[in-house]
Structure 1
Amino acid sequence: MRLRTTLLLGLLTGCATTASSRPEASAGGTASAQAPSAAGSKLDFKALSARELAPLSKQQVSAPDGSFTGEVEAAGTPTIQQQEGFVVLSVPLGTRSPLTCFIYSEPLDAGAAVHRLLSKVGQHTDIQLARATDVRLIDDAPAVFAEAQYLVDTPQGKAVGQARLMVHVDDQVPLVCSHDELGYSESFVRITSALAGSLTSPSAGKRKASRYSEFHLVRVEGRPVGFEKRVIRDSAGGAKLTEVETSLLLPRTARELMVQDTVSTELSDKEGRLVARDYARSTNGELDIQMSLELVGGREYHYEGKHSGKDLRGTFTVKKDLSTGPGTARLVREQLLAGKKKELTLRVYDPAANPVAPVDQVLRRESDTGRELKLEMGPLEATLTVDAQGMVEKAEVSFTGNLRMVQERVSVSGSP
Structure 2
Amino acid sequence: MRTDFSLGVLSLSFFVAACGGANSANSGGTSAPVAAKPAASAPAAAANSSGEVSLESLLARESTGLKAVSAKSGDGSLVLAAESSAQPTFEAKNNVPQVMIPIGTEQPVICLLRGDSPSTGSLLRSVVSDVQKDEPKNQITMLEAAMLGNVPYYLAELQYLDEKTGKPLLGALKIAVFDRAGDTLLCMHDELGYRATFKRVVESVAKSFQKKDAEEPKAPNELEIALAKVQKQPIGYTTERHFITPEGTHVELESSTLLLRRSPTELMSVESVRVTESSKDGIATKIRTISEEGGEQAESITVERKAGGKYHVEGTKSGKAVKGDFTSKTPIWASWRQRAEVRDKMLRGRKVRELSMSGYSSSSNPIGMTPTTYKATSDANAFEITNGGVQVRATLDADARTTQVGLKMGAIELSFERAIFESHK
Output the CA distance in 2 between the equivalents of 1:375 and 1:251: 29
Output the CA distance in 2 between the equivalents of 1:74 and 1:352: 48
Say if 1:13 and 1:395 are closer, same or farther in 2 by CA, change over 3 A. same
Match of 2:416 among 392, 407, 414: 407
Deviation at 1:104, TM superposition (A): 2.1
Aligned residue in 2 for 1:358: 369
Q: Is residue 184 from structure 1 mapped to residue 209 from structure 2 by the alignment?
A: no
Q: Provide the identity percentage.
A: 24
Output the CA distance in 2 between the equivalents of 1:359 and 1:101: 44
Output the CA distance in 1 between the equivalents of 2:201 and 2:163: 30
Aligned residue in 2 for 1:231: 241
Structure 2 unaligned residues grouped into runs of 5+: 1-29
Deviation at 1:175, TM superposition (A): 1.4
TM (normalized to structure 1)? 0.86
Aligned residue in 2 for 1:11: 36
Say if 1:205 and 1:112 are closer, same or farther in 2 by CA, change over 3 A. closer
Output the CA distance in 2 between the equivalents of 1:130 and 1:260: 20
Output the CA distance in 2 between the equivalents of 1:220 and 1:62: 41
Q: Is residue 161 from structure 1 mapped to residue 183 from structure 2 by the alignment?
A: no
Give the alignment of 1:110-259 within 5 angstroms: 110-123=120-133, 124-129=135-140, 131-138=142-149, 140-153=150-163, 158-202=168-212, 206-259=216-269
Q: Is residue 269 from structure 1 mapped to residue 279 from structure 2 by the alignment?
A: yes
Output the CA distance in 2 between the equivalents of 1:360 and 1:411: 28
**Matched AA of 2:367:** V
Say if 1:174 and 1:64 are closer, same or farther in 2 by CA, change over 3 A. farther
Aligned residue in 2 for 1:49: 59
Output the CA distance in 1 between the equivalents of 2:180 and 2:415: 24
**What's the CA shift string for 1:15-51, capped at 9, x where partnerless?**
xxx4342xxxxxxxxx345379699x43xx1111111
Shifted more, 319-328 versus 190-199: the winner is 319-328
Give the alignment of 1:308-323 within 5 angstroms: 308-323=318-333
**What's the CA shift string for 1:363-388, capped at 9, x where partnerless?**
21112x51111122233221101100
**What's the CA shift string for 1:136-192, capped at 9, x where partnerless?**
135x33222122233343667644332111112224343111112111111111101
**Matched AA of 1:289:** E
**Matched AA of 1:183:** G
Q: Please say if residues 128 and 151 of structure 1, whose CA atoms lie closer than 8 Å, have aligned partners that are also in contact.
A: no
Deviation at 1:394, TM superposition (A): 0.6
Q: Please say if residues 20 and 180 of structure 1, whose CA atoms lie closer than 8 Å, have aligned partners that are also in contact.
A: no
**Matched AA of 1:310:** K
Aligned residue in 1 for 2:100: 90
Deviation at 1:296, TM superposition (A): 1.3
Say if 1:110 and 1:36 are closer, same or farther in 2 by CA, change over 3 A. farther
Output the CA distance in 1 between the equivalents of 2:206 and 2:67: 16
Output the CA distance in 1 between the equivalents of 2:74 and 2:252: 36
Q: Please say if residues 404 and 415 of structure 2, whose CA atoms lie closer than 8 Å, have aligned partners that are also in contact.
A: yes
SS of residue paired to 1:350 = coil
Output the CA distance in 2 between the equivalents of 1:67 and 1:35: 48
**What's the CA shift string for 1:81-106, capped at 9, x where partnerless?**
22223123222222122212212231
**Matched AA of 1:54:** T
Output the CA distance in 2 between the equivalents of 1:352 and 1:208: 31
Q: Is residue 297 from structure 1 mapped to residue 307 from structure 2 by the alignment?
A: yes
Q: How large is the RMSD of aligned CA atoms in angstroms?
A: 2.6
Aligned residue in 1 for 2:352: 341
SS of residue paired to 1:238 = coil
Aligned residue in 2 for 1:25: none
Deviation at 1:359, TM superposition (A): 1.7
Output the CA distance in 1 between the equivalents of 2:161 and 2:296: 27
Deviation at 1:337, TM superposition (A): 2.2
**What's the CA shift string for 1:54-102, capped at 9, x where partnerless?**
2523444445665532233322333322222312322222212221221
**Matched AA of 2:335:** G
Aligned residue in 2 for 1:34: 47
SS of residue paired to 1:174 = strand
Greater RCO (Cα-Cα under 8 Å, separation 6 or more): 2
Say if 1:157 and 1:394 are closer, same or farther in 2 by CA, change over 3 A. same
Q: Is residue 75 from structure 1 mapped to residue 88 from structure 2 by the alignment?
A: no
SS of residue paired to 2:180 = coil
